Amino acid sequence: MTRSFAVVRAAFILGGLLLVQSTADAQTKLATQPTTAPTTRPFASVQEIDGYFGDQLSRTEKAYQDQLDALRKQRIQELTNLQDRALADKNVDLVVQLREVLSEAKEDAGDAVNPGPAKPSAAGKPDPVKRGASIGDAMLWAADDFVVTVWQNGKVIDPSQRKLENEVFGATVERLTADVHEGDWLVFQLANNRKRWKGSRLFMGTVMNSGIAVLETKAGPPWYVCDDPSKVQAFIANADSGNERPIKRIPLDEAWHDGMNRYKKKFPEGKAEPIWGDERVTWIKLRVPPSGAGPAKIPGPAKPAEPKGKGGSVFD
């Protein structure tokens, strides 16, 4: 028994020695290995998380807005195409309806829609605008039935620049606030219902400078007309397109006499003439003489009469 105890005791001592040696070897190995710092952090900072999700949100919002703008532009284009077809078919009632719907659609679209220049015709690109001195700050006209759209130098004039001064059984009197310069060209799209008031029609007005008539409607240059829808794009986009067709004066028995009288009441010394094209839907262009063309082509100013209506309208 004494011998067995000695054997066990010797084995225990030997095991202890081996454990001590193994521990020492392990410590030596760890001490000789190079240490490296971790290359990545276990967590991102709050600022980094905010920036990541902020960028994701901005991209999502932009994508949504782009889709919405595209749908609005598509709707406006479809309405414009319908209006063009209605004009080609001489469907005045539909033109009137589409005018209102299209105006609301453009107002809803806001900055997403930029009418930009009219599309060039096959004849060439839109003319560059070479503007001279300012000749006026507004326009005033009487129309029977109404002006649908106005372009200046190939661009649609914002409807907010137009003010309805008076409406007389469907016929209209409007004021347009716009700077008019030498070299400009303005195009007016007009519509008339031949079934109203025995087909009477009228476009009569003037460019004004501080309330003074300076460039009135009249037969011949610088007023021109286009009645062919297939030629309208070029007529609008190009300053001198269609200028081989000077506008004609309306026979007095076919003109809206009340509109003429209202104009004469505003400008007693005015020399404006009633004009229109050959069709009930027509486009009339004012080609302002360019700089250096000579003042003889611009009619002399006519002094306005003092407004006498209750609301101060120029055509009351």
Tens digits of residue pLDDT in 26-35: 556 555 655 5
Domain identity same for 144 and 222:
yes
Any domain includes 226: yes
Domain identity same for 99 and 141:
no
- Whether the per-residue pLDDT at 236 is higher than 90: the answer is yes
Any domain includes 265: yes
More confident residue, 72 or 180: 180
Domain identity same for 159 and 264:
yes
More confident residue, 238 or 96: 238
- Whether the per-residue pLDDT at 300 is higher than 60: the answer is no
Range of the domain at 100: 55-112
Domain identity same for 61 and 209:
no
Domain identity same for 287 and 150:
yes
Tell me the whole-structure pTM to 2 decimals. 0.57
- Whether the per-residue pLDDT at 75 is higher than 60: the answer is yes
- Whether the per-residue pLDDT at 93 is higher than 50: the answer is yes
> What pLDDT does 178 receive?
96
Domain identity same for 165 and 257:
yes
Any domain includes 37: no
> What pLDDT does 297 receive?
39
Any domain includes 44: no
C-alpha 92/C-alpha 211 separation (Å) is: 33
Domain identity same for 237 and 154:
yes
> What pLDDT does 42 receive?
56
> What pLDDT does 32 receive?
60
> What does the pLDDT average to over 263-288?
92
> What pLDDT does 77 receive?
78
Count of structural domains, the chain = 2
Domain identity same for 152 and 247:
yes
- Whether the per-residue pLDDT at 197 is higher than 80: the answer is no
